[in-house]
Chain A
Amino acid sequence: MGRYILFRLLKWIPSVFILLLLIYALVFFGAGDPIKLIFLQAPGDVAYDPDRVEAIRDAAGLNRPFLVQFIDYLGNIAHGNFGNSLVSGRSVNSMISAALPVTLKIGLTAIFLLSIIGIILGVIAALNQNKLLDNLIVGFALIVWGIPVFVAGPLIIVFLVLVMDMDVPYGWSGLFSFKVIVPLLVLGLNPMALIIRQARAGVLEVLSEDYVRTARAKGIPNYQVVVKHIMRPVLTPVVSQIGLLVIATLNNSILIEKVFGLPGLGRLTETAIKTSDYPVILAIVLIFSTVVMASNLLVDISYPMLDPRAAAKKTGDE
């Protein structure tokens, strides 16, 4: 297993290099010049002087050739230094270290909750196939799947404020705060539909297996049949789905953090993209790719634990 993880990590390094090169090239050549943007984005009587812009670019080292800047950048990140923001001059390391925990806390909590609740609802729906409860749960899943996060977020705020006469749940006071409930709900509801459907389909498939029938014939209580015999094979596809949900959650965090004022990576991403602040953009890309890679690795590692057949395939004991 150790060698397997090491091999995966080694494979990840060239991927990240190519990703960084591509993103660097994209922002360098195509996303706009951050120094020009300082002038062009300011409204009204801003004094845009091309000679001055060039002098500022010189002072910031932005007039050096692309490869020189990129290699310089790689050298810095090899030393754990993401550089300074081109717009604010702040250390990107300090910006990331403040924002990352917020996104991770919100994202992981949302994934944990949606997985637990999604699996439970999926199992309940399957065990009540074609009954009212099943229809309600599947209907609920269909509805929340049909509402994208960028619609659900503002809608829920409007509902809370204008209908329920509540304050806008805005800002960040830590994970254990009322203000976090609504963003968690918005972040979790849409992907939860996937888990519900996946878990339901999995349970329905396993229900007709011989070993489940045998277990029931032996008189084992139903909840034990579900927990011990049905859940384990059902979890394997659900866990692989969770790997994909990490990506969706990171994407959705950009909007959720903006709408609910959460000081995480999503909000930072939006600001950095708007200003073409590429040291910040690149650091976020690197962080996001690490999170995605880590989640995929965790999913891969968890397969053999959930399904012994996967372990047997790896060791050739099948």
Chain B
Amino acid sequence: MKKDLFKVLVLGLAVLGLTPLQSGQASAEGGQVLNIAHPVLQQNWSPLQGGGHSARWQSLSWAAPMYFDKDGKLTPYVLSSVESDDSYVNWTLHVNPDAVWSDGSKITAKDVVGTWNLSARPATKHARVNLFLGGVDGFNDVVVGKAKDMTGLTITDDATIAVKLASADPIFDQKIATALIAPVKISQAEDESGNEKADWWMPQNGVVVSGPFMPETMDLDQGILTLVPNPNFFGPKPKLEKIVLTTVADASTATLMLKRGTMDAHTELITPTIIQDLGADFLGGPALAKGQQFWINAKKPPMDDINVRKALIMSINPEELALAAFPDGPFTVASQILNKVPGVDPDFKKYPYDPEGAKAALAASKYKDAGRLPKIMFVGISTPTHEAAAQYIAEQWRKILGIQGIEMKPAIETYSGPDQKSVQIFRDDVGTRVPDAVSYLMGSIYSKSGNARNKLGGYENAKIDAMLEEASVKGVKDPDRIKLAQEAQRLFREDWVYIPYYYDVMSKWAMPWVQNFDKNDDWQVIEPWNVTIDEAKRP
């Protein structure tokens, strides 16, 4: 018996010793393999989610209606052209006659309209469909389940769609230039009752795609996906042989794998030492129309007193705040809400860093001194970088104003939890996917935006709303469009409801040997077919 046990142990060790060490998918025969580390064990890779980490890789497999190229130019893709009448209410979309699915069948107007209707239905849970199709006539009935289809979408013929908007929108064509509403083959995705079929997007179920790469395997339990070139892709031939997405949930492990070349890119990796670990190039990229701010809920005490808000904001040195989070860049210090888009206000008056002014403002408030202030709670302090920034803010408030009662919570979901009523400050980002100042502000300071309703605690300024509503129907070339947006932003400044933090860049999150990996404001790799790997630089 004892001898048997000994033999089993020896055999076990021998098997362990003989098993080769497998270190990811190093290379396929002859071709180049791009290994991507994905931070979340993603159980759903449906292109109809409109968000989540998987949506960052949407352009690999799904061709957008249109997209913004490297120079920010609106470029046809599944749709060959889009035009409107003079009212900006009626639009005509033409499906690219060359656009085909990976099985060779044509992408039709029915696929486009079917996808958009399906995306809008509540059961699909698309996170951003409002942003792109919210203006289409009948959309509001579909998103709350009162109707199945938008009345404003009409299939004229196999390759033409007539769109009627509920009100004028001169940038509707830009709004639909996103991979997040990329058409899917509707007969595959939709069941008889009009809901999204379960797991239709898995290769095991024979999914057909429109993008340059199609899924070859999908092991959701292991968290490993492999993509291979789509032989029927209607764009340029993809250069990579294979793409492997592997779940690497731990940031330290992912960093080491990138450093060693086991991984080439990451979906989104943010650590305080990322520049030192992986180099500035990894995190670098073009400026992004997105900014991080600390949003103040002016309805919760003590923020209901503008003098308290002034005191808190004037205690913060914006340069030091951004440096606390990212000592080595590449992010830039924020001041106004608008960033990168045409219409950034050159005359915007920054909030001053003024410790004495801050003390005076606090003394002028109804609370008089720090001892009388209720506890201040931050949420969204979810990464070490944001933690460092929030610590800096807390320290400034302690030093300058004598505030002691500050609590920080990691995640925004606290918003929906039991502490919701006590949260006064949300750290979160806002931005836009279209190069338009009005769209940017409509998504951040307009009273009906998610940001104003939730992060700003139901912020509403009638003058700002009126200005933005007026601006939103003006043509993109009308100078009043930008002028009104800038005026609205200046008014917003006077309400003192945000602490400027930093402006994002569209980080490459790829090692230097990954070439042509540029991303656009839609957070997508712009030309996945052009991505290559410089093997000489790979470790």
Q: How far is the CA of A267 from the CA of B222 in the complex (A)?
A: 10
The answer to whether A270 and B256 have CB atoms under 8 Å apart is: no
The answer to whether A36 and B252 have CB atoms under 8 Å apart is: no
Q: Quick check: is B22 within 8 A (CB to CB) of the other chain?
A: yes
The smallest beta-carbon distance between A217 and chain B, in angstroms, is: 26
Q: Quick check: is A167 within 8 A (CB to CB) of the other chain?
A: yes
The answer to whether B43 and A99 have CB atoms under 8 Å apart is: no
- List B223-267 residues whose CB lies under 8 Å from chain A: 223-224, 246-250, 252-253, 256-257, 259-260, 262
Chain A residues whose C-beta falls within 8 Å of the C-beta of B100 in the assembled complex:
none
The answer to whether A161 and B223 have CB atoms under 8 Å apart is: no
Q: Quick check: is B199 within 8 A (CB to CB) of the other chain?
A: yes
The answer to whether B199 and A42 have CB atoms under 8 Å apart is: no
The answer to whether A35 and B247 have CB atoms under 8 Å apart is: no
Among A119-127, A194-202, A256-264, the one that faces the other chain is: A256-264
Chain B residues whose C-beta falls within 8 Å of the C-beta of A35 in the assembled complex:
125
Among B62-70, B128-136, B206-214, the one that faces the other chain is: B128-136
Q: Quick check: is B342 within 8 A (CB to CB) of the other chain?
A: no
Say yes or no: A45-B123 contact (C-beta < 8 A), given A88-B44, A98-B221.
no
Question: Given B134, B199, B290, which contacts A44 in the complex, CB threshold below 8 Å?
Answer: B290
What is the 8 Å Cβ interface bit string for chain A, positions 258-302, against chain B (1 contact, 0 not)? 111101000110110000100000000000000000000000000
Q: Quick check: is B72 within 8 A (CB to CB) of the other chain?
A: no
The answer to whether B22 and A52 have CB atoms under 8 Å apart is: no
Say yes or no: A52-B143 contact (C-beta < 8 A), given A45-B128, A158-B252, A267-B249.
yes
The answer to whether B131 and A45 have CB atoms under 8 Å apart is: yes
Q: Quick check: is A51 within 8 A (CB to CB) of the other chain?
A: yes
Question: Given A45, A52, A177, which contacts B16 in the complex, CB threshold below 8 Å?
Answer: A177
The answer to whether B44 and A37 have CB atoms under 8 Å apart is: no
Q: Quick check: is A181 within 8 A (CB to CB) of the other chain?
A: yes
Chain B residues whose C-beta falls within 8 Å of the C-beta of A180 in the assembled complex:
16
The answer to whether A46 and B143 have CB atoms under 8 Å apart is: no
Say yes or no: A261-B253 contact (C-beta < 8 A), given A47-B130, A177-B16.
yes
Q: How far is the CA of A239 from the CA of B119 in the complex (A)?
A: 56
Chain A residues whose C-beta falls within 8 Å of the C-beta of B413 in the assembled complex:
32, 36-37, 40-41, 276
The smallest beta-carbon distance between A33 and chain B, in angstroms, is: 5
The answer to whether A46 and B450 have CB atoms under 8 Å apart is: yes
The smallest beta-carbon distance between B34 and chain A, in angstroms, is: 17
The smallest beta-carbon distance between A249 and chain B, in angstroms, is: 19
Chain A residues whose C-beta falls within 8 Å of the C-beta of B145 in the assembled complex:
55, 58-59
Q: A52's closest neighbor in chain B, by CB?
A: B143
What is the 8 Å Cβ interface bit string for chain A, positions 141-158, against chain B (1 contact, 0 not)? 000000000000010011
Q: How far is the CA of A241 from the CA of B216 in the complex (A)?
A: 47
Q: How far is the CA of A32 from the CA of B420 in the complex (A)?
A: 10
Q: Quick check: is A69 within 8 A (CB to CB) of the other chain?
A: no
Chain A residues whose C-beta falls within 8 Å of the C-beta of B199 in the assembled complex:
89-90
The smallest beta-carbon distance between B245 and chain A, in angstroms, is: 13
Q: How far is the CA of A37 from the CA of B431 in the complex (A)?
A: 19
The answer to whether B416 and A261 have CB atoms under 8 Å apart is: no
Q: Quick check: is B40 within 8 A (CB to CB) of the other chain?
A: yes
The smallest beta-carbon distance between A27 and chain B, in angstroms, is: 11
The answer to whether A170 and B415 have CB atoms under 8 Å apart is: no
Q: Quick check: is A75 within 8 A (CB to CB) of the other chain?
A: no
Chain B residues whose C-beta falls within 8 Å of the C-beta of A39 in the assembled complex:
51, 127, 450
The answer to whether A60 and B123 have CB atoms under 8 Å apart is: yes
- List B429-457 residues whose CB lies under 8 Å from chain A: 429-433, 443, 450, 453-454
Q: How far is the CA of A44 from the CA of B444 in the complex (A)?
A: 10
The smallest beta-carbon distance between B332 and chain A, in angstroms, is: 17
Q: How far is the CA of A173 from the CA of B15 in the complex (A)?
A: 13
Q: How far is the CA of A40 from the CA of B409 in the complex (A)?
A: 15
Question: Given B198, B262, B430, which contacts A168 in the complex, CB threshold below 8 Å?
Answer: B262
Q: How far is the CA of A180 from the CA of B13 in the complex (A)?
A: 12
Chain B residues whose C-beta falls within 8 Å of the C-beta of A87 in the assembled complex:
43-44
Say yes or no: A271-B123 contact (C-beta < 8 A), given A167-B21, A170-B253.
no
Measured as residues with beta carbon below 8 angstroms from the partner, the interface class of chain A is 35 or more
What is the 8 Å Cβ interface bit string for chain A, positions 208-220, against chain B (1 contact, 0 not)? 0000000000000
The smallest beta-carbon distance between B60 and chain A, in angstroms, is: 19
Question: Given A45, A48, A56, which contacts B122 in the complex, CB threshold below 8 Å?
Answer: A56
Q: How far is the CA of A263 from the CA of B249 in the complex (A)?
A: 11
Q: How far is the CA of A157 from the CA of B262 in the complex (A)?
A: 14
The answer to whether B12 and A40 have CB atoms under 8 Å apart is: no
Chain A residues whose C-beta falls within 8 Å of the C-beta of B412 in the assembled complex:
40-41
The smallest beta-carbon distance between A274 and chain B, in angstroms, is: 8
Q: Quick check: is A49 within 8 A (CB to CB) of the other chain?
A: yes
Chain A residues whose C-beta falls within 8 Å of the C-beta of B433 in the assembled complex:
45
The smallest beta-carbon distance between B195 and chain A, in angstroms, is: 8
Q: A181's closest neighbor in chain B, by CB?
A: B16
Q: B223's closest neighbor in chain A, by CB?
A: A263
Chain A residues whose C-beta falls within 8 Å of the C-beta of B432 in the assembled complex:
45
Say yes or no: A40-B416 contact (C-beta < 8 A), given A46-B51, A90-B220.
yes
The answer to whether A89 and B256 have CB atoms under 8 Å apart is: no
Name the residue in A44, A49, A50, A167 with the highest tally of chain B Cβ atoms < 10 Å from its Cβ: A44
The smallest beta-carbon distance between B502 and chain A, in angstroms, is: 14
Chain B residues whose C-beta falls within 8 Å of the C-beta of A89 in the assembled complex:
44, 198-199
Q: How far is the CA of A172 from the CA of B432 in the complex (A)?
A: 40
The smallest beta-carbon distance between A260 and chain B, in angstroms, is: 8
Q: Quick check: is B371 within 8 A (CB to CB) of the other chain?
A: no
The smallest beta-carbon distance between A86 and chain B, in angstroms, is: 10
Chain A residues whose C-beta falls within 8 Å of the C-beta of B10 in the assembled complex:
none
Chain A residues whose C-beta falls within 8 Å of the C-beta of B205 in the assembled complex:
none
Say yes or no: A38-B127 contact (C-beta < 8 A), given A45-B433, A59-B145.
yes
Chain A residues whose C-beta falls within 8 Å of the C-beta of B143 in the assembled complex:
49, 51-52, 55
Say yes or no: A59-B249 contact (C-beta < 8 A), given A40-B416, A44-B431.
no
Chain B residues whose C-beta falls within 8 Å of the C-beta of A168 in the assembled complex:
23, 253, 256-257, 260, 262
Chain B residues whose C-beta falls within 8 Å of the C-beta of A55 in the assembled complex:
122, 143-145
Q: Quick check: is B30 within 8 A (CB to CB) of the other chain?
A: no
Q: B196's closest neighbor in chain A, by CB?
A: A89
Chain B residues whose C-beta falls within 8 Å of the C-beta of A154 in the assembled complex:
250, 252-253
Chain A residues whose C-beta falls within 8 Å of the C-beta of B44 in the assembled complex:
87-90
The answer to whether B454 and A261 have CB atoms under 8 Å apart is: no
Chain A residues whose C-beta falls within 8 Å of the C-beta of B12 in the assembled complex:
176
Chain B residues whose C-beta falls within 8 Å of the C-beta of A30 in the assembled complex:
417-418
The smallest beta-carbon distance between A64 and chain B, in angstroms, is: 16
Chain B residues whose C-beta falls within 8 Å of the C-beta of A263 in the assembled complex:
41, 221-223
Q: B144's closest neighbor in chain A, by CB?
A: A55
Q: Quick check: is B276 within 8 A (CB to CB) of the other chain?
A: no
Q: Quick check: is A12 within 8 A (CB to CB) of the other chain?
A: no
Q: How far is the CA of A94 from the CA of B119 in the complex (A)?
A: 26
Q: Quick check: is B405 within 8 A (CB to CB) of the other chain?
A: no
Q: Quick check: is B466 within 8 A (CB to CB) of the other chain?
A: no
Name the residue in B127, B248, B415, B428 with the highest tally of chain A Cβ atoms < 10 Å from its Cβ: B127
In the complex, given contacts A50-B453, A263-B222, what are 8 additional A-B residue pairs having Cβ atoms less than 8 angstroms apart?
A: A37-B413, A41-B411, A41-B412, A42-B51, A56-B123, A168-B23, A171-B246, A176-B16
Smallest CB-CB A-B distances: 3 pairs: A88-B43, A47-B130, A48-B450
* Interface residue ranges, B against A (CB under 8 Å): 12, 15-16, 19-24, 40-44, 51-52, 122-123, 125, 127-131, 134, 143-145, 198-199, 220-224, 246-250, 252-253, 256-257, 259-260, 262, 290, 411-418, 428-433, 443, 450, 453-454, 523
Jot down 5 A-B pairs with beta carbons below 8 A, ordered by A.
A38-B52, A52-B130, A161-B260, A178-B16, A259-B253
